[in-house]
């Protein structure tokens, strides 16, 4: 019979230094001072989520909890540092022993201590994505697969597939069927590569980023003594942005908390928008089912937006069935300015409206940095980027590089540049290196052969290319390239740009994109939109000139700015989460655009799109503009009418102001 012996804590000051009642509102205070046990805090947009979590940590420490017994899990190390810094400023208690950081950083710390249980030494290497890609390519070669013989996914794409398998805890076949159906015929080969990759990592004492989660969970499941050690150490677990956790992260939290059940998760189910990268919405939705005795707190006082914007936000999310219902209330006073609902004729007029209104706001002393244009997908901003460049309004892309500077856009336009100017060596090299078996040296040799026989004009691109000698592995696709160039420039005369883009994608680039890009579908949408954008240009040289204008225009010396760092923010809604702006424009609010066409027939997908719309609205502090064009150009159908987004129809008319736009 064993005897239970309790270690008493060293004496600590029992005086409370923080006046929680004065520092927190009533809802925040209830969550911060809740008794131990499972706690779910639903923190609405702009409601002080970080403040609540920070003060909860301070409250635990001031009540005698040893910092070493607290685990704070966040999605960025920066967020953890900021919270711990605030705690240190609040208290006189030394909180340096507290474990705080991302799931991955905590997993790394644990594996450094105990990785030998899985056959890894403490000095294991953590591979970045480039290292991971190289190792996978080595494994593919070792498996006897020649990607130049068959269209086998490249290392980047395989890394993405393997990552999804880990983070969603899904079987490979199921994952391929859902996300990469065009690779299903290669299932056995991909599974073999995955198995070899796992063995190679162990042999080289290396882990990829996902292993920091998967191997930690696996170690806990296989070695009870290690799991028990950390369950005893982490007596209080706090999780930030819980709505963004994936299956494996939720499993880790549940495993560590299974004895004491002192786990507080904080998040907003209405801002769960990352299922496409593995986040599991059910984690936050079903928390009360996994912890039936959980206390649920709602924090609904919003410190960011004016009441008029919050009324629209509340209405926008109301139709979702799967949610914790809440009502955001404003702490700011009304500005008597309702969000604007603006219908335009087409994408070009929408761009003109947005840019003109931006200039007016600038004249009203709204800083360009405090203005954002948000959209569902990159290609929605094509006309807008062109219009901003024309009007010399500086802008920055929060969500990545400019549309026309992306790799897949430049790849396809290299074909067009080449037929427009057969002496364009850069375009020729970029184009031919898309083919298997052609690297820098071969491309240079091919260019020398091409340049030696250039005649003006080129009357048959196909015949000239067919006559050239190329590596055997490239022969089939070289022939396809020759036919494609002959098709897009018959008799040496380029077709209209839009027709060329469609031909290039269908004949060559679509297959290339599938095996080279992890986000193939999004890039395919971009290329469709590029073809639509190009319809306004009949002449290839005018089209290429406009692309150059957008890519190279000098926006530093525009007359509308007073600070050389001032620029309008263009961003997908996904990338804008967590940010806020004085004024927000949400564009292309039409069915099939926002919500996306892929979501229209699936309730779960449509509800996530509605949450995305809610996130877009709640980025705005003072002014909100919701715009949609009546028409858009659609491939071979010409100009088609489109319905306003169903999300707009769910907002009562009296909450928005209808703007009638006319030409002066």
Residue 554 CA to residue 559 CA, distance in Å, equals 12
* Length, in residues, of the chain: 664
CB neighbour list of residue 7: distance below 8 Å, 6 or more residues apart: none
C-alpha–C-alpha distance, residues 585 and 626, integer Å:
6
- Note if 174 is an active site residue: no
- State the DSSP string of 327-363: --EESSPP-S-PPEEEEESSHHHHHHHHHHHHHHHHH
619 as an active site residue: the answer is yes
**Bridge partners (DSSP) listed for residue 557:** none
Which residues on neighbouring strands pair with residue 207, listed in sequence order?
Answer: 126
Task: Give CA–CA dist 338/341, Å, rounded.
Answer: 9
Q: Which of 156, 208, 211, 241 is catalytic?
A: 241
Give the active site residue among 27, 28, 49, 156. Answer: 49
- Catalytic hit among 271, 323, 518, 529: 271
3-state SS of 17-33? Answer: CCCHHHHCCHHHHHHHC
Q: What is the DSSP string of 31-57?
A: HHTPPSS-EEEEE-TTS-HHHHHHHHH
Residue 151 annotated as catalytic:
no
Tell me whether residue 17 is exposed, middle or buried, using C-beta atoms within 10 angstroms of its C-beta: 0 to 12, 13 to 18, 19 or more.
Answer: exposed
Degrees (nearest 5) of the Cα angle 218, 219, 225? 135
- Give me the catalytic one of 326, 338, 464, 619: 619
Query: What is the rounded distance in angstroms from the CA atom of residue 529 to the CA atom of residue 537?
Result: 14
* Token pair 């292993």 in the structure block, residue: 211
Q: How many CA atoms lie within 13 A of 562 on its CB side?
A: 6
Helical (H) or strand (E) element with 301: strand 301-302
Query: Active-site residue among 23, 33, 50, 475?
Result: 50
Peptide bond into 595 cis (omega under 30): yes
Distance between CA atoms of 486 and 626, rounded to whole angstroms? 45
241 counts as catalytic:
yes
- Interatomic CA distance for residues 265 and 431, integer angstroms: 50
Q: Tell me what percent of the chain is helix, strand and coil, each rounded to the nearest 5.
A: 55, 15, 35
Residue 663 designated active-site: no
Kindly write down the DSSP assignment for every residue of 574-641, as one continuous string: HHHTT--EEEEEE---BTBTTTBGGGTT-HHHHHHHHHHHHHHHTTEEEEEEEEEESEEE-GGG-EEE
Q: d(Cα 349, Cα 588) in Å, to the nearest integer?
A: 12
Q: Please confirm, yes or no, whether 6 is among the known catalytic residues.
A: no
Annotated catalytic residue within 156, 240, 566, 623 = 240
Question: Which residues are marked as active site?
Answer: 49-50, 240-241, 271, 619
């Amino acid at each position: 019979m064993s005897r239970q012996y309790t270690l008493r804590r060293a004496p600590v000051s029992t005086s409370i230094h923080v006046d929680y009642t004065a520092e927190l509102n009533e809802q925040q205070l209830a969550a911060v001072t809740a008794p131990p046990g499972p706690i779910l805090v639903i923190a609405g947009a702009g409601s002080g989520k970080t403040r609540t979590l920070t003060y909860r940590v301070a409250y635990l420490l001031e009540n005698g909890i040893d910092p070493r017994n607290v685990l704070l899990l966040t999605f960025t190390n920066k967020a953890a540092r900021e919270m711990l810094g605030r705690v240190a400023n609040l208290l006189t208690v030394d909180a340096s022993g507290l474990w705080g950081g991302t799931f991955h950083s905590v997993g790394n710390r644990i594996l450094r201590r105990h990785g030998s249980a899985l056959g890894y030494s403490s000095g294991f290497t953590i591979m970045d994505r480039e290292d991971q890609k190289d190792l996978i390519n080595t494994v593919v070669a070792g498996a006897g697969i020649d990607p130049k013989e068959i269209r086998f996914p490249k290392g980047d794409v395989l890394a993405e597939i393997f990552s999804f398998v880990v983070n969603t805890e899904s079987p490979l076949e199921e994952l391929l069927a859902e996300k990469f159906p065009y690779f299903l015929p290669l299932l056995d080969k991909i599974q073999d590569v995955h198995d070899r990759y796992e063995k190679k990592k162990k042999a080289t004492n290396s882990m990829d980023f996902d292993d920091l989660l998967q191997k930690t969970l696996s170690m806990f499941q296989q070695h009870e003594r290690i799991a028990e050690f950390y369950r005893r150490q982490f007596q209080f677990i706090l999780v930030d942005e819980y709505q963004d956790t994936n299956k494996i992260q939720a499993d880790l939290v549940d495993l560590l908390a299974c004895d004491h059940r002192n786990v507080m998760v904080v998040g907003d189910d209405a801002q769960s928008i990352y299922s496409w990268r593995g986040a599991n919405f059910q984690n936050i939705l079903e928390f009360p089912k996994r912890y039936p005795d959980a206390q649920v707190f709602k924090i609904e006082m919003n410190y960011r937006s004016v009441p008029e914007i919050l009324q629209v936000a509340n209405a926008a999310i109301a139709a979702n069935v799967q949610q914790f219902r809440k009502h955001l209330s404003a702490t700011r006073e009304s500005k008597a300015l309702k969000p604007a609902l603006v219908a335009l004729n087409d994408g070009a007029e929408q761009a003109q409206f947005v840019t003109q209104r931006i200039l007016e706001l600038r004249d009203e002393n709204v800083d360009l940095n405090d203005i954002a244009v948000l959209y569902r997908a990159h290609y929605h901003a094509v006309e807008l980027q062109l219009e901003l460049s024309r009007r010399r309004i500086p802008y920055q892309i929060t969500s990545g590089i400019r549309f026309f500077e992306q790799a897949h856009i430049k790849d396809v336009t290299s074909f067009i540049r080449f037929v427009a100017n057969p002496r364009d060596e850069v375009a020729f090299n970029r184009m031919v290196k898309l083919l298997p078996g052609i690297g820098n040296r071969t491309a240079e040799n091919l260019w020398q052969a091409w340049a030696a026989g250039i005649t003006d004009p080129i009357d048959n691109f196909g015949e000239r290319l067919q006559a050239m000698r190329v590596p055997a592995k490239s022969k089939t696709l070289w022939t396809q390239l020759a036919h494609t160039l002959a098709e897009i420039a018959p008799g040496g005369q380029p077709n209209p740009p839009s027709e060329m883009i469609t031909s290039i994608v269908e004949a060559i680039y679509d297959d290339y994109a599938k095996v080279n890009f992890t986000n193939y579908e999004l890039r395919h949408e971009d290329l469709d939109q590029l073809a639509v954008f190009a319809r306004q240009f009949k002449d290839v040289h005018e089209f290429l000139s406009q692309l150059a204008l957008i890519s190279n225009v000098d926006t530093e010396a525009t007359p509308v700015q007073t600070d050389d760092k001032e620029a309008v923010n263009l961003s997908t809604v996904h990338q804008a989460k967590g940010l806020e702006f004085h004024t927000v424009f949400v564009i292309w609010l039409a069915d099939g655009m926002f919500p996306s066409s892929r979501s229209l027939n699936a309730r779960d997908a449509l509800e996530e799109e509605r949450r995305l719309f809610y996130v877009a609205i709640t980025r705005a502090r003072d002014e909100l503009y919701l715009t949609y064009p009546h028409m858009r150009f659609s491939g071979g159908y010409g100009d088609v009418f489109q319905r306003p987004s169903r999300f707009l129809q769910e907002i009562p008319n009296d909450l928005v102001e209808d703007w009638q736009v006319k030409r002066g």
